[in-house]
Amino acid sequence: MGMEVGGKKGGPMASMNIVPLIDILLVLLIIFMVITPLTPKGLEAIVPQPPPPNQQPNTVQNQLTIVVQVLKDGKLKINDEDYTWDTLGPRLTDIFKIRAEKVAFVKGDDSVSFAQVAKAMDIMKASGIDSIGLITAKIEAGQ
């Protein structure tokens, strides 16, 4: 606190020193500026949306949608066609060679370990697919 002395009438007069408050404000401002870019980001995922209840699914859109299924016995399917782990990558490369929108979905059975689904996703990324979405049982049921 500072004190001003003098004046003709009144005697001593007290005034507040605000310099320490400004210093604290500037330190807090710098702290918040440094912390802001470090906020965590979540995993970007694409979720297929079910059609409205009264509308039939679009068959043209269903033909363009690529879904890789990882089955419990280690087999793979691309839109109901059987493939092996060795032929998955080349087939996906052929499919997405001429497409502008490189989006595909992966679906795993309940009994499949996530390591196998992650392996399929890795092969899909290596095949040139830009975005990979996950299909769960609830999404498939339309919930």
What pLDDT sits at residue 2? Answer: 55
Spatial distance between the Cα atoms of 55 and 45, rounded to a whole number of angstroms: 25
| Cα dihedral value 15, 18, 19, 25, nearest 10 | 170
Q: Which pLDDT belongs to residue 28?
A: 94
Query: What is the reported pLDDT for 111?
Result: 84
3-state secondary structure the chain: CEEECCCCCCCCEEECCCHHHHHHHHHHHHHHHHHHHHCCCCCCCCCCCCCCCCCCCCHHHHHHCCEEEECCCCCEEECCEEECHHHHHHHHHHHHCCCCCCEEEEEECCCCCHHHHHHHHHHHHHCCCCEEEEECHHHHHCC
Looking at every residue in the chain, the average pLDDT score rounds to 78
Do both 67 and 15 map to the same domain? no
- 30 vs 9: CA distance, rounded Å: 44
Confidence at residue 35, expressed as pLDDT on a 0 to 100 scale: 81
80-103 average pLDDT score: 86
Q: Are residues 19 and 74 in the same domain?
A: no
Q: Kindly report, residue by residue over 33-78, the tens digit of the pLDDT.
A: 888 776 666 666 666 666 667 766 555 444 578 888 898 888 898 8
63 vs 124, residue with greater confidence: 124
Give phi and psi for 48, each to the nearest 5.
-70, 140
Q: What is the pLDDT of residue 25?
A: 93
96 in a domain, yes or no?
yes
Question: Where residue 76 sits, what CATH number does that domain have?
Answer: 3.30.420.270
pLDDT at 11 over 80: no
Residue 6 has pLDDT above 70, yes or no: no
One domain, residues 67 and 12: no
Residues 27 and 76 in one domain: no
Same domain, yes or no: 8 and 76 = no
Question: Same domain for 25 and 85?
Answer: no
| 129 found inside a domain | yes
Residue 102 shares a structural domain with residue 132: yes
* 4 pLDDT tier (thresholds 50, 70, 90): low
pLDDT for 41 equals 66
For residue 27, the model assigns a pLDDT of 94
Number of domains in the chain: 2
Same domain membership, residue 102 and residue 64: yes
Enclosing domain of residue 32: 2-38
pLDDT at res. 136 = 75
Q: Is residue 46, in this structure, part of any structural domain at all? A: no
Q: Are residues 31 and 98 in the same domain?
A: no
Q: Within a domain: residue 54?
A: no
